[in-house]
Amino acid sequence: DKANTFLSIKMRMPDDGPPSKKFKYTLQHKNNGNHVSDKLQQERRNLPIYPARGKIINQIQRLDTAILIGETGSGKTTQIPQYLLEANVNKNAIIAVTQPRRVAAITISQRVAEEQGTELGQKVGYCVRFEDVTSENTKIKYMTDGMLLREAILDPLMKRYSIVILDEAHERTIHTDVLFGVVKQAQSRRKAKGIRPLKILVMSATMDVDHFSAYFNAAPVLYLEGRQYPVQVFYAPEPQSDYTFSSIVTLFQIHRVEPPNKDVLMFLTGQEEIESAVKTIRDITRSTEENMAPLVVCPLYAALPSHAQLKVFKPTPRGCRKVIVATNIAETSVTIQGIKFVIDSGVVKAKVFNPNSGLDLLKVVRVSKAQALQRTGRAGRESAGSCYRLYTEQEFEQFSDSTVPEIQRCNLSSVVLQLLALGISDIVNFDFMDKPSTESIIAAVHQLHNLGAVVKETSIKLTPVGRKMAAFPLEPRLGKTLLIAKEHNCLEEILTIVSLLSVDSVIVTPQSKREEALAARQKFVSSEGDHVMLLNIYKAYKAVKGNREWCMENFINQRNMRTATEVRKQLHDICVRMDFPVKSCGNDSTTIRKCLAYGFFMNAAELQKDGSEYTSLSSRKTVSIHPSSVLFRCKPAYVIYNELVKTTKCYMRDLCVVDPDWLSEAAPAYFKKKKPGT
Nearer to ligand CDP, 72 or 176 (CB): 72
Q: Is 107 in the site for ligand CDP (CB under 6 A)?
A: yes
Q: How far is the CB of 169 from ligand CDP (least distance, A)?
A: 12
Q: Is 109 in the site for ligand CDP (CB under 6 A)?
A: no
Q: Is 70 in the site for ligand CDP (CB under 6 A)?
A: yes
Q: Is 75 in the site for ligand CDP (CB under 6 A)?
A: yes
- Per partner kind, with CB cut-offs from 5 to 8 A, the member of Mg ion, ligand CDP, none near residue 204 is none
Q: How far is the CB of 559 from ligand CDP (least distance, A)?
A: 19
Q: Is 374 in the site for ligand CDP (CB under 6 A)?
A: no
Binding site for Mg ion (CB under 5 A): 76-77
Looking at residues 110 to 149 of the shown chain, list those that interact with ligand CDP (rule: CB under 6 A): 111
Nearer to ligand CDP, 75 or 599 (CB): 75
- Please report, for residues 401, 411, 487, 596, the alpha-carbon distance to residue 482 in angstroms, rounded to integers and kept in the order given: 42, 21, 9, 9
Q: Is 521 in the site for ligand CDP (CB under 6 A)?
A: no
List beta partners, residue 400.
none
Classify each residue of 23-57 as buried b or exposed e, where b means 16 or more C-beta atoms within 10 Å of its C-beta. Answer: eeeeeeeeeeeeebeeeeeeebeebbbbbbbeebb
Classify each residue of 263-289 as buried b or exposed e, where b means 16 or more C-beta atoms within 10 Å of its C-beta. Answer: bbbbbbbbbebbbebbeebeebbeeee
- Please report, for residues 99, 389, 390, 401, 405, the alpha-carbon distance to residue 369 in angstroms, rounded to integers and kept in the order given: 23, 12, 14, 5, 14
Region from 106-114, 351-359, 406-414, 515-523 binding ligand CDP, contact rule CB under 6 A: 106-114
Region from 2-10, 105-113, 228-236, 262-270 binding ligand CDP, contact rule CB under 6 A: 105-113
CA distance 318 to 315: 9
Nearest residue to 658 (alpha-carbon basis) of 605, 620, 615: 605
Q: What's the sign of the alpha-carbon dihedral 434, 63, 161, 334?
A: positive
> What amino acid is encoded at 536 in this protein?
N
Q: Is 99 in the site for ligand CDP (CB under 6 A)?
A: no
Nearer to ligand CDP, 97 or 460 (CB): 97
CA distance 221 to 422: 30
Q: Is 72 in the site for ligand CDP (CB under 6 A)?
A: yes
Residue 212 CB neighbour total at 10 angstroms: 20
> What amino acid is encoded at 577 in this protein?
R
- Per partner kind, with CB cut-offs from 5 to 8 A, the member of Mg ion, ligand CDP, none near residue 99 is none
Region from 65-73, 257-265, 482-490, 497-505 binding ligand CDP, contact rule CB under 6 A: 65-73
What does DSSP assign to residue 120? Answer: B
Nearer to ligand CDP, 52 or 266 (CB): 52
Q: How far is the CB of 201 from ligand CDP (least distance, A)?
A: 12
Region from 103-111, 262-270, 432-440, 617-625 binding ligand CDP, contact rule CB under 6 A: 103-111
- Per partner kind, with CB cut-offs from 5 to 8 A, the member of ligand CDP, Mg ion, none near residue 335 is ligand CDP
Cα angle vertex 451, ends 449, 455, to 5°?
30
Q: Is 47 in the site for ligand CDP (CB under 6 A)?
A: yes
Answer for which of 335, 425, 591, 647 binds ligand CDP (CB under 6 A) is 335
Q: How far is the CB of 335 from ligand CDP (least distance, A)?
A: 4
Chain-centroid distance of CA 419 in Å reads: 21
- Per partner kind, with CB cut-offs from 5 to 8 A, the member of Mg ion, ligand CDP, none near residue 73 is ligand CDP
Q: Is 78 in the site for ligand CDP (CB under 6 A)?
A: yes
The full DSSP string for 595-640 is HHHHHSGGGEEEE-TTSSSEEETTT--EEEE-TTSTTTTT--SEEE
Nearest residue to 126 (alpha-carbon basis) of 137, 118, 134: 134
Q: Is 77 in the site for ligand CDP (CB under 6 A)?
A: yes
Nearer to Mg ion, 44 or 76 (CB): 76
Residues that bind ligand CDP (rule: CB under 6 A) add up to a total of 15
- Per partner kind, with CB cut-offs from 5 to 8 A, the member of Mg ion, ligand CDP, none near residue 70 is ligand CDP
Nearer to ligand CDP, 45 or 646 (CB): 45
Q: Is 309 in the site for ligand CDP (CB under 6 A)?
A: no
Q: How far is the CB of 181 from ligand CDP (least distance, A)?
A: 24
CA distance 632 to 611: 13
What does DSSP assign to residue 529? Answer: B
Q: How far is the CB of 567 from Mg ion (least distance, A)?
A: 27
- Per partner kind, with CB cut-offs from 5 to 8 A, the member of Mg ion, ligand CDP, none near residue 78 is ligand CDP
**C-beta contacts of 347-350 below 8 A and 24+ residues apart:** 347/243, 347/268, 347/269, 348/267, 348/269, 349/269, 349/270, 350/409
Q: Is 380 in the site for ligand CDP (CB under 6 A)?
A: no
> What amino acid is encoded at 126 in this protein?
Y
Q: Is 108 in the site for ligand CDP (CB under 6 A)?
A: yes
Q: How far is the CB of 442 from ligand CDP (least distance, A)?
A: 38
Q: How far is the CB of 384 from ligand CDP (least distance, A)?
A: 18
End-to-end CA distance of the chain, in Å? 61
Residues at the interface with ligand CDP (CB under 6 A): 47, 70, 72-79, 107-108, 111, 335, 337
